[in-house]
Amino acid sequence: MGSINMEIGNDGVAVITMLNPPVNALTLSAIEELKRCYEEAIDNDNIKAIVLSGADGRFCGGLEISVVENVHKHGDISLLPDASIGLVVNKMENGKKPSVAAIQGFALGGGLELAMGCSARIATPKADLGLPELRLGVIPGCGGTQRLPRLVGTSKAVDMLMSSKSITSEEGKELGLIDAIVSSEELLTVARCWALDIVEGRQPNCNSLQKTDKLGTQDESLEILRSARQRYTVPHYRACLDVIEEGIISGGYSGVLKEDKVFKELVLSNTAKGLLHVFLAERATSKVPGVTDVGLKPRRIEKVAVIGGGLMGSGIATALIISNISVVLKEINHEYLLKAVKSVEENLQGFVTRGKLNQEKLKRTLSLLKGTLDFEDLKDVDMVIEAVNENVCLKQSIFEDIEKNCTSECIFASNTSTISLDVIGKRTSSQDRILGMHLFSPAHLMPLVEIVRTENTSPQVIVDVIKLTKILKKVPIVVKSCTGFAVNRSFFPYMQGPDLLANLGVDIFRIDRVITEFGMRLGPFQLQDVSGYGIFLAGVKEFVAAFPGRAFQSPLVQLMVENGRKGKKNGKGYYTYNKGSKPEADHSVIEIVEESMQLTNIAPGGKPISVTNKEILEMIFFPVVNEACRVIEEGIVVRASDIDIASVHGFKFPSETGGIMFWADTIGSEYIYSKLKSWYEAYGDFFKPSTFLEQRAAKGLPLVRIF
């Protein structure tokens, strides 16, 4: 049996089943088999109608990712299948016999596009329906931009496409995307009957590409698209809107032709390559050799204690209860506990405000939270997450207390970002159950979690916590312990490089502008304002102590503090912050920058250096690449692509670049090495190339694909 199977029933209905576990993805051979089955069914006089279904409770998850990978590898769009015209239009929609899609589980991407090419769609309850292609840098390539607006209306179609979010079959029924919802037991029976009813004229034979009733007037649809263009400015999003417009103005088939053309242009774009890399790298983070491949099954974590209810602790507690996990939140006194619970309530209210939670669900979620002042209330928890201040003695004392009060199976985690886990657990005899669970602030919103293992952490505990992060809908990367772990360690040059450039005389506001134009949400100096100078200075101190040979020490931030500037905290930093208005550059800080320049005295001849915007970008990010190379060489991460995920989800490096290391590979290790070497010779050890980078450059090898 191949990936497509066809059975002809006594009722004259051919059931074509897609069979390619786990999601019944469409391979090149599957698409050719589908064409063959449809041709056979159309030519067979004993077949009256067709039902298209998927095996094992799933309809179809869309085009097999490896097809696109192969196109990227060879740079050849001829390796793409002819599915849009050759299959959906010619065989399914314009064939002589009606077909009905029998959907259960999900119909996503190309799977939903196949379903929309059918004459009708029958689905089971709670099936997911969506077109997520824009997340991968492309548009739907099998008619989705044309059929979806004609089935659900232009406004809803634009919303689904731009957000890449799926809807349930129930919502699909209300919108007109689904014709009927039935139980999984009845699905094939109802679909077969529906197909025969179309043949007999009892149900309409709907060609969705020719429908216009849901589109409204042309002017209405064009206004919806005009409004969407103001909100979505990324090129491939705009391209999608242009393709929808083509169909509205010139007709569905014309739209399909333009969609096919644009899809093939986008699939080879750098954005598509970068976003596909992020997608695949994200899936790989949960695979840890010697841990996840030895047959261990994750244990259920249903109740978690969080110790410390400050910013991080309350955020972690929120993330847990929103995912239906009971939490015992421990504080040291009633005042702190009430404040912590209030913070959790405010976090949840934020979800309500954003429409992600209703008041009834908020109450149910809050009922999962229990506050306590007593370690004895932790006796039945499955896991403890410590989130107190970075104080070694305090953390050691807490770990002693939890060992005394918790079960022998309980997992002990710390949210520390600086202290060795071996030191934290030194006074316990439970080193095999200790690991780091480093979330990023705000913990209930940021997706990345660094799972920090020691030499003693058991594989079972790592497997358990990986599973927990999935339940929390977060992205885990498993790392070894070091100063800063993977994210902060790799990106500490990003915090120091801009200060170095400022001390070389480069305008700080120009630096911020270059970095935001590249795609970072904030420039490094505005980031200092927002994060707080105290956090910045503490980080510099930490990395100077750990890596004295290559850390750059600048007096600039300390001078800002001495001049009464606290950044956003008091509305006065590199920028001024007034409620209700955007931050504005405060050019009076130039005097402080000049004072810093005099103190460091690193500018050649005491004069500002002359650099292009391209050089500014490189002088800030190449040292990050360099430090990430050391992280790879030291085995801190499982694979180089984990740093890409760390950069995208932990530091908001632009996802369309593929992450910091993938981006570096588009430039080339030889070029990066040569630039760093020249700056090292000119400006000192901060730019000194790592041994790993030097070796890769000498061999002309990429940085990411090394395992």
- Catalytic center residues: 113, 133
SS3 437: strand
Which one, of 271, 306, 275, lies nearest residue 382 by Cα? 306
**Cα distances (angstroms) measured from residue 510 to each of 105, 272, 505, 526, 613:** 51, 29, 11, 12, 8
Alpha-carbon span 540 to 493, nearest angstrom: 10
| CB-based contact 468:419 (threshold 8 Å) | no
Please count the other Cβ atoms lying within 10 Å of the Cβ belonging to residue 550. 21
- Rounded CA gap, 336 and 463, in Å? 33
Which helix H or strand E contains 476, and what residues bound it?
Answer: strand 475-480
Alpha-carbon span 296 to 135, nearest angstrom: 32
Tokens of 169: 């079959």
Q: CA-to-CA distance for 318 and 348, rounded, in angstroms?
A: 7
* Tokens linked to 637: 């991460």
ω into residue 22 within 30 of 0, thus cis?
Answer: yes
Cα separation, 430 vs 411, whole angstroms: 9
Q: Rounded CA gap, 316 and 467, in Å?
A: 16
How crowded is residue 476: how many other Cβ atoms within 10 Å of its Cβ? 25
Pairing between β-strand 584-585 and β-strand 575-576 as defined by DSSP bridges = antiparallel
Distance CA 216, CA 211 (A): 11
Bridge partners (DSSP) of residue 181 are 123
Rounded to whole angstroms, the Cα distance separating 194 from 291 reads 49
Contacts of 69 (CB under 8 A, 6+ apart): 276, 280
Instruction: List C-alpha distances in Å: 181 to 102, 486, 574.
Output: 10, 47, 58
Distance (Å, rounded) from C-alpha 499 to C-alpha 495? Answer: 7
Residue pair 263/140 in contact (Cβ under 8 Å)? The answer is: yes
